[in-house]
Each structure stands twice: as structure tokens, then as C-alpha cells.
Amino acid sequence: MSPLTLESRPAWQWWLASCLLVAPLLIAIGDHYPFSPFPMYSKFDSSADILYVTDQNDKPLALSSLFGVGSAQAKKRFERELLDVAKTRDYEKADAAAVTTASTRFLNGLWKDRKSKKTNALGVNTLRLHMITVSLSEDSAFQRQDSLLGEISVTPDPQPE
Amino acid sequence: MKKILEFLRPGDFAWGSRELLVMRLGIAGLVFMGIHWGLTPFEPKHDNLNGFAKIVPLTWMLQPGVMVVLKILTTVGLGLFVIGIAPVITLVPPLFTFCGLGALRNSKGDGTHTTQVLAMALLAVWIAYIVGAIRKAGWKSPTLPQHRNAMIAALLMIAASYVSSGIIKLKATKGRWIHDVPNMAVQMIKSNLSDYYSKPQGEIPTAMTETAPKFITQNPNVARVVFGTGLLLELAAFTLMLGRRWAFLTGTALVLMHAGISLLMDIEFWNHMGLLCLLCIMPGCVDVFKKLSNSGMKTRLGTPH
């Protein structure tokens, strides 16, 4: 008797296997690396937040090249700090003191990851955390609100002689 | 009609050894590039640990010296996997490094889903080789069917990930996902502004932060048809498993879907697209090339004048 290899099964068994076993299994496991049911854009809120960081002159800083993290990932980091401090990921639901503490923690963490040559070249001595909230109103018009959540003073690295 | 039905009849994958070699080489390249080598040391709080990092203590991986060793072991492991030497063993360092650094990155709060499909596919490949070895088909130098089963397992994981993503959309919106699609305009603005603020240069581009979102809200049904097609495609991704022709057709459609989303939302899908190109489109192109060269041969040898 020849061994029953996976491939010798009829094709319909494959889609049954993938749909009936693995796909629901991924949903059951949830988002635990390496597994994921890929929940991105699974529902659409009518508002969204975008994080950015500026220097002392309110000039937006390039998060990717200066700190090695994109805006979307940085927002997740900030939300994690906020969750830790205020038990919510929504800065609008947290009290002002908690938002300030989470912002300070986040900005200090960001500064730790800096590419110091680049931040030195730009003369950065302050980091300000901003959040833009974009929302869609009933009459399908977009509204944009910009909030300053916190700021820290930073000391540039000493320049080599 | 008969020809179309015949063409669409589910078949097998029948990947040859050269195709499988290209697949392994491509996957190895994607894995090496997908590992978060630049992750810096941090002290995660236990509550924030994610997935694999919750089960195994992993922060030691972030020490610079350790990272160099992991890089060497991963490179050697991937090289041996490509040439087909003992993948049950040689895939362990790349798989451990990939999942470890990926889980740590998610634990840091930087989570993205861009590498998870590749991590799951690699895990499936490894498990398929283990299953092959347990069946005493040999583990040192896997046979062609073992290599084939490993790639089928990767494709199975990819197909399942699309289907699960489609199901979760329906679940989260109680079946109203397509109805809610016009709200995607807000997500489009978010995605494009996030990308702008990651590397700000010049003025904020208005095409994808104003013009396109406005078009979506003004033409909601057009948006529902376009994005609804994407959802149906995800739910129908199990057709990837119906043989190389279906894999080619569905894989091409999924790559086009990703290209469209990348254009609109400024999101990268290199791993998804790379895997689909390797496992679905490349074999399809081989078929087309063979068919063309066969018909060319027939024409040259063809009927006498």
C-alpha cells in the first residue's frame, strides 16, 4: 500500500482543511506572534488618530530616520504607555495628568532610540508629541483637530572634539 | 465553455525541483529581510509581552553580541534550507530568530502585521518537514514530495490567513463590512498622514489625504464595489489550494489587490506579495512559458509545406 501523502488527497480536502481548520483556528488564537487572523481594517471607525513629533520650532521630525519607528508604530507605543498609566488606549478618555505622564514616558523612550548623529545635526533640544484626530461628520465632511499631548526637554549628545 | 471548465478543474501543484529551489531561495530571502535586526534592547513589562515572547524569555536576544551570533546562525540555517539539507534542524535558528524578534517587536508596541504571514508560512514549512521526517521519509535530505508538501503547507497557511481576515471583517461588523466601507476614507487619510509624518518632506500630499477620500464619501457605492471585491477575494482565497492553475489565478488577483491597497493606503505588503509571487505566480509563468515554447517548437517543426 502506498503511503498516503498530503498531496495525494483530493484538492477539495485542501480548502476544507484550510477553511474549516486553520482559518477559524487563527481567529481563535488571535493576535499572538507569529499567529494572527489579520484584523486590520476589520471595522471602520468614523474617526482616527495620527501621531507626530516635532522639535522646539514645531517642525515635524522624521520618525523613521531619526528614531527607527514609523508614526503608526509610534502611536501603538504611546497607546501602550497610556494603557499602562490610565488603563485606556484612548487619550481623549484619559485624564490630563495621565496623558502627560504617558507622553513623557513615550518621548523619553523615543529619545533613547535616537540616531544621535542626525538629531545632533538638527539641533533638537525639545520633543513635542502631537495627535491629529480626523473624523467624518454626518454630512460626510472631514474635520481635523490637532492636540499637543506633551513635551520634554532633551540634551543633545556631546560633540566629539 | 467546456474548455474553460476543463481549465478550471482542480488539479495538483506538481512543482518541479527547480521551482521548489526557487521557492526556498525566495522564502529564505524574504525571511532574512523580514527579521527585525534593528530592534534595540528594552525592558518589556510582563503585561505587554506578546505571543512567543510570553512563553519564552527572549530579551537576551537583543544584546548586540547575541544578535551577531543569531545573524550568523540564521544565515547558515537559511543557506542549508535552500539547498535542502536537514531543514528539520537547519530551519530552527531562522524560525526562532524570526518569531523571537517579531514577538519582541510586538511586545514593544511596534506591532505590524507585515511579517506575520511569513512567520506562519515558515512555521508551516518546518512542521511539514517534521511530519515528513516522522513518517520515516528521511530528515537529512528530504525527497521531492517532502519539499512539495512543505511548500503546500506554506500555501495552506497563506490561504487560511486571507480567509480568517475575511471572516473577521464580517464578524467585527456583524456582516456590514461592505456597507461601512465609505468610512474607509478616514482610514485612508490616517494611513497616508502616518506615512507622511514618518518621513515628512515638503507639503502634505493632497491626492490621498483629500481628493481620494472625498471621492469615496461622495461615491459610496463605487467604493463598496471596489473594496467589496477585495473582501470576496479574501473569503475565496481557499481556491489557492485547488492546484497550480487556481493558485495562479487567485494569487494574481490577490497581488493586484495588494498593489491597489498599497497605492491608496500607503501600506506595504512585500511579504504577502513575495510569497504569492513565489508560490502561485512563478509556477503559472513557468506553465505559460512552457506552453509558448512548445507551440513555438511545433511551429518550427510543424507540418511540411
Cross-chain Cβ contact B110/A36 below 8 Å: no
Q: Interior CA angle at B57 toward B52 and B59, to 5°?
A: 100
Residue B146 to residue B210: CA distance in whole angstroms:
51
Nearest to B201 by CA among A62, A74, A51: A62
Residues facing A152 on adjacent strands? A127
Q: What is the mean pLDDT of chain B?
A: 90
Q: Assess A30–B contact: CB distance below 8 Å, yes or no.
A: no
Nearest to A38 by CA among B272, B29, B124: B272
pLDDT tens per residue across span B9-29: 888 888 999 999 999 999 999
Instruction: Report the gap between the CA of B21 and the closest CA in chain A (Å).
Output: 18
Is A13 a residue whose pLDDT tops 90?
no
Using the Cα atoms of residue B127, residue B121, residue B248 and residue B298 in order, give the sign of their dihedral.
negative
Which residues 81-120 in chain A show a CB within 8 A of chain B?
Answer: 81, 84, 109, 112-113
Q: Which residues of chain B neighbour A73 with C-beta distances below 8 Å? A: 109-112
pLDDT tens per residue across span A104-138: 999 999 999 899 888 888 989 999 999 999 998 87
Q: Which residues of chain B neighbour A142 with C-beta distances below 8 Å? A: 185-186, 189, 210, 213-214
CA-based R_g, chain A, Å:
23
pTM over 0.90? The answer is no
Q: Mark residue B202 as left, alpha or beta (left: phi above 0; alpha: psi -120 to 50; beta: remaining).
A: left
Report helix, strand or coil for A132.
Answer: strand
pLDDT tens per residue across span B188-201: 999 999 999 999 99
Q: Which three cell numbers stand for residue B221?
A: 457605492
Cross-chain Cβ contact A71/B193 below 8 Å: yes
pLDDT tens per residue across span B277-290: 999 999 999 988 88
